[in-house]
Amino acid sequence: MPNRPEDPIRSYQRKSVAARRTAGRSCKCGESRPETLVNGSRPTICFACRRNQLGQTTLDEHHPAGSANHAATVPIPVNDHQTLTDAQYDWPRKTWENPEGSPLLAGAASIRGYYDTNSYLTDQLLLWVARLLEALDETLREPLGPDWWAGTKLEEFRPKPKPKR
């Protein structure tokens, strides 16, 4: 998930410590993001698999703006919740914790939370479609040629050339 940490050194340190802690390990399900692996588990297991083993839900209620700033929650798979919460650690601490209840910091947290959640949804719902379309184009190009869409209903979606001045 793209992020813009306020303190890139602190963010890098936190992420590199997590990466060293997991040292390239992954769960049997294939999950390998350091923040999604249960610290100290042997064998390595992710939060979702651990919850499945315990018969618990694998969905969490995520507070996009942080619970100190807004009561709104969205259901998120537990491993992705770990990633979204990790992104909140890149926010200024005062914004996330908002100890005095500043409405301006609550607004800043709402913007940051929307940005992080929107980035997550873009990654989950859209990027795989772009990769699918690129793979399909390559698959069609091989047997049908570089203009495989010519003469089909898809031709209407072909980019229009820019008019010359």
Taking CA atoms, 19 is separated from 25, 64, 82, 153, in Å, by 9, 24, 14, 48
pLDDT (0 to 100) of residue 30: 94
pLDDT (0 to 100) of residue 5: 65
pLDDT tens-digit readout, 65-79 = 999 999 999 999 999
Domain coordinates in residue numbering, the chain: 8-145
**pLDDT tens for the 165 residues of the chain, in order:** 555 667 777 777 777 777 777 777 899 999 999 889 998 888 999 999 999 999 999 999 999 999 999 999 999 999 999 999 999 999 999 999 999 999 999 999 999 999 999 999 999 999 999 999 999 999 999 999 999 999 999 999 999 888 887
pLDDT tens-digit readout, 31-40 = 999 889 998 8
Q: Are 83 and 33 in contact (CB under 8 A)?
A: yes
Q: How many CB atoms lie within 10 A of CB 149?
A: 16
* CA–CA separation, 89 and 150 (whole Å): 50
Strand ranges in 7-115 using DSSP code E only, listed in sequence order: 59-62, 74-77
